[in-house]
Structure 1
């Protein structure tokens, strides 16, 4: 479509939504400042850059596929992120793992310092991006036994405690340098493949380790701490020390952000139903948005019913200032840069659909007990011309509308990605 066609379609869509009391111009202004944090580990299959032959091992996670063009260095990843961000409307962030260290010196994870991520800071500052961070409790000899912060080996446990402390300082440095708080999220894979006898002791060790990591108070203007649960992982099917119930209690009692990974629950559980419940008791929530297919399989986001429900809950509950949105999938079977673009654009589309609802009117129907009108309105909204609003949003954000962004990906694939050996 030409720019004129997009603008014409938008003018008709604007009138349709205005008839319902929805100001589409205001909606797009709001959408443009909702940041989505792009997860760096989609670009390198969660391998990191600690060594030239770094591989994803351990932690119950796995990247499937061998599509050409994986980022082999931090510089290549930044190049790939630049391309992805140029095709995603809005102002966004980037979420790093500690394994994405970019340093000329070899340094162990418990000795990581902000200087080892200075190139990331310089890159983000130049682009006016915020950075988020995650300690990496996997793909390391000291994690091979499946235990990090819950290990019975005091030396191993201390190593990972020091890693967590170091990562919080790096998060603080990100926040100070970039003028926006870094969300530093702690997730560990610790658990058992088979049924354990003692479920309590690992959790006692985990509480003590976390308390030690989080003992130093950091100004929330610079760093926000989050903890993330998981149902199970590969080789850890019977017991996970950091379960949802564990971290919900820990986050409430320590005044932390609670992280919901949408793939870390039973297939029939939905995070959209949990947000308003948890936000009664914690101030802020972190979302790691993925798509599980029968298990925590980290598929690229599609515009599914649950993704729309998640966005609706954020908007309807007026939680936009209390929910931090990050992507968390890693698909090595398709173009990795395209995966970022598809996932982020779908997350933005879901938020747009939610923002285009006449929420006040729908809430009045509900309070009045007029459930017939509520259902009618919700169904009629599905066929309104929101696609025209999305295309106009892309146009105003100087990114390709429709599927045209794929042409740029194909050129980048030919000129850059396929030349990586």
Structure 2
């Protein structure tokens, strides 16, 4: 018996004493996918114009060597990253990442065939895909407005793009026999104080209604709408605010997307989950790490990340919350960034699943708040790390920091030669 197995055996006994079956927890953790964002691997450049400047409130800092510049390179990097992360996950894809056979095709004319390479890749790995229309870094979004633009022609272009994307996502869902979530985020807003706050929101609502007019089988595609407090170039006013999209999601039975970096620094999305799920059927999370602003740092094992996962488990929301990632850091090895962020998220989820929730809930219901607080502190000493190491080993991925050796080898053999 290896040291990891010995440590897990002892951990299993300790968790059993507080009513937690770690074997069941590991099976459950292995079934919960995390949607890994494609755009970490190439700094959100996409393949329309990989060296073009980003617009629409998107900013990536750093110039670490080895950036992916083709779909095949990006898929190879994802293969390497996913081989180092326990569990079977998903890929979150933007419309600007269409395969090379789409060159010259406008965004409102994209078809499923332009993403066949991604569909084939996902099918080969046995994973699902999620999708996002790309409403930034385009001449028709240069002034900061798309679906809420005053120009009807520009609005129509972006409406058509949204319609295309829903049908592409449905094709992905059908081919993979796995529903695709299409998430709508638009960067529309003003840098300084606007006079008319109402007009853009009325136009945005009308545009969204046009996009969602066609009924699509939810077994193929599910729609999500993503809110934001502010962004670069929209510091004073974002058309698609939290209140706007919450109301829209409730009225139209859409999934609401909460991005951890899209709120005021004193706000926490963990505190919003149970409130919102009183009124909407499902939530999509974009797990990120903002530092003073929506800076999309690589996710790490922070208190806030743990709080998000605890809320999902404590509220019995696992089947109603879709977990995705949204960060992009070009200052470090991009494959390592994927691994660090996804492993941290997976580990936080596992630790939340290991919590003796039923015991804690009973103490609270009985009014024994002293014991509740005491237990919350004592369970921090339980050997969750031993269970995590065993999860990695049984998932046939490196345990501990051993994954870094593989990334460094990949960097020498592949990334450094680009």
Same-fold call, TM cutoff 0.5: yes
Of 272, 275, 291, the residue aligned with 1:274 is 272
Q: 2:54 matched to which residue of 1? A: 57
Of 69, 72, 77, the residue aligned with 1:75 is 72
In structure 2, the residue corresponding to 1:172 is in which secondary structure?
A: helix
CA contact (8 A) 1:56 1:62 kept: no
3-12 vs 154-163, which moves further = 3-12
Query: Aligned equivalents of 1:16 and 1:360: distance in 2?
Result: 16
CA contact (8 A) 1:60 1:234 kept: yes
Query: Aligned equivalents of 1:26 and 1:55: distance in 2?
Result: 48
Q: Does 1:339 align with 2:328?
A: no
Query: Aligned equivalents of 2:20 and 2:358: distance in 1?
Result: 10
Q: 2:88 matched to which residue of 1? A: 91
Query: Aligned equivalents of 1:134 and 1:56: distance in 2?
Result: 19
CA contact (8 A) 1:45 1:56 kept: no
CA contact (8 A) 1:46 1:56 kept: no
Of 136, 139, 153, the residue aligned with 2:137 is 139
Query: Aligned equivalents of 1:175 and 1:56: distance in 2?
Result: 31
Query: Aligned equivalents of 1:104 and 1:110: distance in 2?
Result: 16
TM-score normalized with structure 1 length: 0.98
In structure 2, the residue corresponding to 1:104 is in which secondary structure?
A: helix
Q: 1:163 matched to which residue of 2? A: 161
Cα deviation for residue 57 of structure 1 reads 1.7
Of 182, 185, 208, the residue aligned with 1:184 is 182
Of 322, 338, 355, the residue aligned with 1:357 is 355
Query: Aligned equivalents of 2:31 and 2:90: distance in 1?
Result: 11
Superposition pairs for residues 188-267 of structure 1, below 5 Å? Answer: 188-267=186-265
Cα deviation for residue 7 of structure 1 reads 0.4
Query: Aligned equivalents of 2:136 and 2:224: distance in 1?
Result: 18
Query: Aligned equivalents of 2:15 and 2:101: distance in 1?
Result: 55
Q: 2:34 matched to which residue of 1? A: 36
Cα deviation for residue 173 of structure 1 reads 0.5
Cα deviation for residue 103 of structure 1 reads 3.3
Structure 1 gaps, min length 5 = none
Structure 2 gaps, min length 5 = none
Q: 1:380 matched to which residue of 2? A: 378
Instruction: Provide, for residues 354-385 of structure 1, a one-character-per-residue CA deviation record: whole Å limited to 9, x for no partner.
Output: 11111111000000110011001110111111
Query: Aligned equivalents of 2:288 and 2:52: distance in 1?
Result: 22
Query: Aligned equivalents of 2:263 and 2:101: distance in 1?
Result: 39
Cα deviation for residue 41 of structure 1 reads 0.4
CA contact (8 A) 1:228 1:259 kept: yes
In structure 2, the residue corresponding to 1:49 is in which secondary structure?
A: coil
User: Runs in 1 of length 4+ with deviation above 4 angstroms?
Assistant: none
Cα deviation for residue 54 of structure 1 reads 3.6
Cα deviation for residue 56 of structure 1 reads 4.2
Instruction: Provide, for residues 298-326 of structure 1, a one-character-per-residue CA deviation record: whole Å limited to 9, x for no partner.
Output: 00011111100000000011101000000
Q: 1:321 matched to which residue of 2? A: 319
* Count of aligned positions: 417
Q: Does 1:407 align with 2:388?
A: no
Cα deviation for residue 236 of structure 1 reads 1.1
Query: Aligned equivalents of 2:363 and 2:58: distance in 1?
Result: 45
Query: Aligned equivalents of 1:294 and 1:49: distance in 2?
Result: 31
CA contact (8 A) 2:71 2:100 kept: no
Query: Aligned equivalents of 1:406 and 1:55: distance in 2?
Result: 31
Query: Aligned equivalents of 1:55 and 1:88: distance in 2?
Result: 31
Query: Aligned equivalents of 2:299 and 2:52: distance in 1?
Result: 24
Cα deviation for residue 58 of structure 1 reads 1.2
Superposition pairs for residues 385-404 of structure 1, below 5 Å? Answer: 385-404=383-402
Instruction: Provide, for residues 244-295 of structure 1, a one-character-per-residue CA deviation record: whole Å limited to 9, x for no partner.
Output: 0000000000000000000000000000000000000000000000000000
In structure 1, the residue corresponding to 2:2 is in which secondary structure?
A: helix
Against the structure 1 CA distance between its residues 379 and 40, is the aligned structure 2 distance closer, same or farther, given a 3 Å change threshold? same
Query: Aligned equivalents of 1:9 and 1:360: distance in 2?
Result: 25
Cα deviation for residue 55 of structure 1 reads 2.6
In structure 1, the residue corresponding to 2:246 is in which secondary structure?
A: helix
Query: Aligned equivalents of 2:113 and 2:101: distance in 1?
Result: 11
Query: Aligned equivalents of 2:135 and 2:53: distance in 1?
Result: 11
In structure 2, the residue corresponding to 1:66 is in which secondary structure?
A: coil
